[in-house]
Chains A and B, each alone.
Chain A
Amino acid sequence: MNQPRSSEGMSLIVKTVCGWLKGFILLYGIHIILYGHLTPGGGFAGGAVAASAFVLVMLAEGEQTGLKTFSRKAASTWRSAGALLFLGIAGLGLVLTGTFFANFWTGNESGGFGSSIQACELGIGMLVCSSLYLVIVTAVPAIKKQERPVKGEAP
């Protein structure tokens, strides 16, 4: 049977279904991050869900395709960018109001998009998503190499 995709990763059925799902999961995660000030969730919860979308891609399609989707360097950059955004909003509060971490942009409460809390959530969401993805990407490929000595082949 012709397989149009590479042979790395899981079977064709799993790859097809995960191809449909990964967009929805990532979108759900981004929504939880961005609307954390109105609905349950926030940066930590949304970051965890968004990270699981990237982990899904890495598990279903194999490491190489997963790393092409979101490489280690890109994950490190997003992680630092998220932390700097969080600190930047806090410092901006210092500059504008004189108090570190001042809530200087309250926004309007009825379905409001845009407040300093939301910008902080975005920063934390970026930090958490890339951190959790980096954790899996660092540990999981590292383990494959150790499987061979156990199976009886001489190293």
Chain B
Amino acid sequence: MIYSLCFALILIGLYGVLSQRNTMKIVIGLLVMEYGIHLFLVLIGYRAQGVAPIVEHGTDQAAWVQQSVDPLPQALVLTSIVIGLGVLALMVSLSIRLYERYGTFDISKMKRLKG
């Protein structure tokens, strides 16, 4: 059931990308999709009553291995979060240039092509 809720978040972001006309709203839809995907990856790696995958001093190693959550999806999502910000910067720069060129954020009004 949790997976379906997370997928609903991804679908809401997809709906935002497909149906909105304001470029900033499209960017926001992509952002919501990103959150949903990151959440989904981390949910897959979760173990019931799990602890963080960090070895602490003086804990029983064998018991901790049975108890910790999966570290691999966390590693993938960690880099993805920071790269999401870099890609957001690219999208926002494009939005700003479009706004300067056409005077609006509305994509249905951007009809002037050169040449």
Q: Do chains A and B touch in the complex (CB under 8 A)?
A: yes
Pair A132/B85 contact, Cβ less than 8 Å: yes
A-contact 0/1 string along B78-89, CB 8 Å cutoff: 110110011001
Min C-beta distance of B85 to chain A, whole Å: 6
Task: Looking at the assembled complex, report how far the CB atom of B94 sits from the nearest CB atom of chain A, in whole angstroms.
Answer: 11
Q: A40-B52, A110-B57 are in contact. Are A47 and B96 (CB under 8 A)?
A: no
Report if A4 contacts B (CB, 8 A): no
Chain A residues close to B by CB (< 8 Å): 39-40, 42, 44-45, 47-48, 110, 128, 131-132, 135, 138-139, 142-143, 146, 149
Report chain B residues within 8 Å CB of A135.
Answer: 85-86, 89
Complex contacts, A131 vs chain B, CB 8 Å: 86
Q: Is the interface of B mostly helix, strand, loop or mixed?
A: helix
Q: Which residue of B lies closest to A47 (CB)?
A: B82
Residues of A within 8 A of B89 (CB): 135, 138-139
Q: Do A40 and B54 touch (CB < 8 A)?
A: yes
- Cα of A39 to Cα of B82 in the assembled complex, Å: 19
Count A-B pairs with CB separation below 8 Å: 33
Count of residues in B whose CB is under 8 Å from the partner chain: 16
- Min CB gap A100→B, angstroms: 19
Query: Nearest residue in A to B57 (C-beta to C-beta)?
Result: A110
Q: Are B92 and A48 within 8 A (Cβ)?
A: no
- Is A44 within 8 A of B93, CB to CB? no
A48 touches B93 (CB 8 A): no
Q: Are B54 and A39 in contact (CB under 8 A)?
A: yes
Beyond A128-B82, A135-B89, 17 additional contacts (C-beta under 8 Å) are A39-B54, A44-B79, A44-B81, A44-B82, A45-B78, A48-B85, A110-B57, A132-B82, A132-B85, A132-B86, A138-B89, A139-B89, A139-B96, A143-B96, A146-B96, A146-B99, A149-B103
